[in-house]
Amino acid sequence: MKLEICSFSGYKIYPAKGKTYVRLDSRVSLENRPNECPWSCVTFKFINGKAESYFLQRLNPRKIRWTVIYRRLNKKGVTEEVAKKRTRRTVKHERAIVGASWDAIRAKRNQKPDARAAARQAAVAKSKEAKKAAAAAKKSSGPAQGAKVSKQQAKGFAPKAAATSR
pLDDT in tens, 27-38: 654 555 555 565
Confidence (pLDDT) at 85: 78
Least confident of 20-24, 28-32, 47-51, 68-72: 28-32
Which residue range(s) make up the domain with 29?
Answer: 4-73
Tens digits of residue pLDDT in 100-126: 888 888 888 888 888 888 988 999 999
Q: List 28's β-bridge partners, or say none.
A: 39
Mean of the pLDDT values across residues 5-28?
Answer: 89
For the chain, the domain total comes to 1
- Domain annotation covers residue 20: yes
- Domain annotation covers residue 116: no
Task: Note if the pTM is more than 0.85.
Answer: no
Any idea what the CATH number is for the domain that residue 67 is in?
2.30.170.20
Confidence (pLDDT) at 142: 63
- Domain annotation covers residue 135: no
H or E element, residue 28: strand 19-28
Sequence-ordered list of residues with C-beta below 8 angstroms from that of 94, at least 6 positions apart, any chain: 102
- Domain annotation covers residue 59: yes
Q: 126: buried, middle or exposed (CB in 10 Å: 19+, 13-18, 0-12)?
A: exposed
Alpha carbons 128 and 120: distance in angstroms, whole number? 12
Alpha carbons 123 and 59: distance in angstroms, whole number? 85
